[in-house]
Chains A and B, each alone.
Chain A
């Protein structure tokens, strides 16, 4: 018998919790609907395409090559990122540059997002801090595979 009362108590308690959530949230929804500002919102939902969450500074998003002062890519085509990449998704072709101060430049720098796992090893391996993953671009989708092979050396 005492167990039955315990069970009933728990059943009522469960309903009370969900009902409390319902009424508290409805109160905030209603207040905000009539334009009354409240500290809390009725829901924790972030309505994505319209409202975007601020990304953490260490978040790994789409790669970019930092430009030099003259706008050319600062990559020196040392291939360290290509070597360290566990997904083998980077493709770099080196080329000479007319400027004697610059040893090499990438003629082609393509990241294949079909394969990339966003580990960020390339960023850490780069000796000249040329590649970074801080564009904040996270809507990386394409209808074709080729669309996900992103050339990074073109601005």
Chain B
């Protein structure tokens, strides 16, 4: 029994480290990618003993800066809640990562260890629930600031997130109808099959419309430009108006974590998770004939790499989107959510039901 506890502890720590490191370096990727897109160079001055490494130390410099800032809370704010809000934001986002499978089972010290912290039987619902709870970070932050502008910002943000949650839930209904289970590990296992004999049975091929709605709703859920109603940088009435230093840093960090969570969920639900196309337990079996045998350890490595690559790709895509489009107006966001994504989600559910009934 202690061994089991130890295994879970190690997995939790590794997952947390992976997530936090990725989030930390996403700040660097965001700066560099936006710079390269705009023909600039981007942050490259942070150095350790003259070693610059393309500014890879920039996230640490930022973290140190945030740490040494004054921990400021306005006198009119409600102290306890003001403290809790960033913690809410951070916790509810990072906790979703425990449900994500990073790879298949590995055999270590005579034990089968699945590369997933907990295999929840209703993991999809768990993730949706935790992402919904993340709204409390915004609401409490705006409320505890006792600042009308912060409150307006937080209410706008909550309205946006709540309406996009509907679309997100609907987009997943179609997928859940097709998939055998709500458990993420079984969903990924299922996606290892083949569609029409040659296509990997990924969610994107089963539910293309569902993926579009899910991804857009998820992007709105990350509350970054172009869906940055809660922050409202250009109007300065975001819910972090009264936040500074490390607490503000935690909010920003939670945003990057949400980018990772959305990437991980898109990968797991729609892009086969850790599945490599046509890679079975013994090696590649191509539908056009021919096979390449791969050692079991190499299969595991390939699968973990595949998961990571997919997650990186989606992070890249989200940053590209964030630096391409101007932000929406509030009514446009509401229109997109209620008049486009929700009907599309319903249409997707109906179409899926029709196909399933006819088949």
Spell out A's residues near B (CB within 8 Å).
11, 14-15, 17-19, 21-22, 25-26, 29, 42-45, 47
Contact = CB atoms under 8 A, between A and B. Distances in A.
B213 to A, nearest CB: 14
Given A43-B41, A45-B41, A47-B41, A22 B321 contact: no
B40 A45 contact: yes
Contacts of A15: 320-321, 324
B39 A44 contact: yes
A21 B37 contact: yes
A21 B36 contact: yes
A25 B39 contact: yes
Given A11-B325, A14-B325, A19 B39 contact: no
B38 interface: yes
Interface in B183-205: none
B296 to A, nearest CB: 34
Interface in B28-42: 33, 35-41
Q: How large is the interface on B (under 10, 10 to 19, 20 to 34, 35 or more residues)?
A: 10 to 19
Contacts of B35: 43
Quick one: which of B35, B37, B323, B325 has the most chain A CB within 10 A? B37
Interface in B1-36: 33, 35-36
Contact of A43 (B36, B320, B323): B36
B33 A22 contact: yes
Given A14-B324, A25-B37, A44-B39, 16 more contacts: A15-B324, A18-B37, A18-B324, A19-B37, A21-B36, A21-B37, A22-B33, A22-B36, A25-B36, A26-B36, A42-B39, A43-B36, A43-B39, A43-B40, A43-B41, A45-B41
Interface string B280-321: 000000000000000000000000000000000000000011
B337 to A, nearest CB: 16
A29 B36 contact: yes
A25 B324 CA distance: 16
Contacts of B36: 21-22, 25-26, 29, 42-43
Contacts of A25: 36-37, 39
B320 A19 contact: yes
Contacts of A21: 36-39
Nearest to B44: A47
A17 B324 CA distance: 9
Nearest to B323: A18
A17 to B, nearest CB: 8
A26 B36 CA distance: 7
Quick one: which of A21, A22, A25 has the most chain B CB within 10 A? A22
Contacts of A11: 325
Contacts of A44: 39-40
Contacts of A14: 324-325
Nearest to B45: A47
23 contacts: A11-B325, A14-B325, A15-B320, A18-B323, A18-B324, A19-B37, A19-B320, A21-B36, A21-B37, A21-B38, A21-B39, A22-B36, A25-B36, A29-B36, A42-B41, A43-B35, A43-B36, A43-B40, A43-B41, A45-B39, A45-B40, A45-B41, A47-B41
